[in-house]
Every structure is written in C-alpha cells, then in structure tokens.
C-alpha cells in the first residue's frame, strides 16, 4: 500500500472527497464519518452521523462541499463540510445537516 490509515473500528466504505483531492471520507460500523488528510495520514474532522452502521458515504460532484451517508438506522443524511481558513491553516467543520426520511 501507498498509505496506511489506522482506525479504531471496522470501516464500511470510503470515498475520495470531491472538494479537495487530498481528502478521503470513510465511514464505520459505529455510525461515524471521518475526513482524512492523506498528506498527514490523520483525521482532520469526524462526525457521529448515525446511530448504527453506515453502509455508504459519497461526495457530491455537483456540490463538492457536500457528502451523503446511508445507514442501517434507516436514514440518509446529507452534510456540508466547509473549509474555513485560519492563520494556522485550514479547518473543516460541519455547518449543516439534513435528514431525509421516506
């Protein structure tokens, strides 16, 4: 492998961020989403997105700051990650969450 990213829980899905190629999204069996910086091999942001296992995480090509997750808890969630620049560098933060239920 080119890079190893250590995790605490089983990974269910990964997706490259459409916002910045340097970032990778991963989801796990505990309902969390992690945003990885591939340059440093570290998690730069995480979300407790669901109450149960997430089966899919994917970035949106048309809205590169958004990603969606689908879970065993019966929900699909769309979140926006916005890059806010600070004097020391970039920081990602979750600024909106949308719950879509059928």
Residue pLDDT, tens place only, 24-41:
899 999 999 999 999 999
Which strand ranges, in their side-by-side order, compose the sheet holding 32-37? 11-16, 23-28, 32-37, 42-48
pLDDT band at 61 (very low <50, low <70, confident <90, very high): confident
Domain annotation for the chain: domains and CATH numbers: 11-100 (2.40.10.480)
Most distant CA atoms of the chain, gap in Å: 43
State the average pLDDT for the chain.
78
pLDDT of residue 60: 80
Q: Is the pLDDT of residue 96 over 90?
A: no
Q: What is the pTM of this model?
A: 0.73
| Positive or negative: CA dihedral 53, 69, 78, 76 | negative
């Amino acid at each position: 492998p080119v890079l190893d990213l250590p995790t605490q829980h089983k990974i269910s899905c990964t997706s490259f961020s459409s916002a910045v190629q340097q970032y990778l999204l991963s989801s796990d069996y505990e309902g969390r989403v992690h945003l990885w910086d591939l340059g440093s091999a570290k998690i730069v942001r995480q979300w407790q997105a669901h109450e149960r296992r997430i089966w899919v995480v994917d970035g949106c090509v048309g809205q590169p700051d958004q990603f969606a997750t689908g879970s065993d808890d019966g929900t699909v969630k769309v979140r926006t990650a916005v890059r806010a620049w600070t004097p020391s560098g970039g920081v990602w933060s979750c600024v909106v969450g949308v719950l879509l239920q059928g």
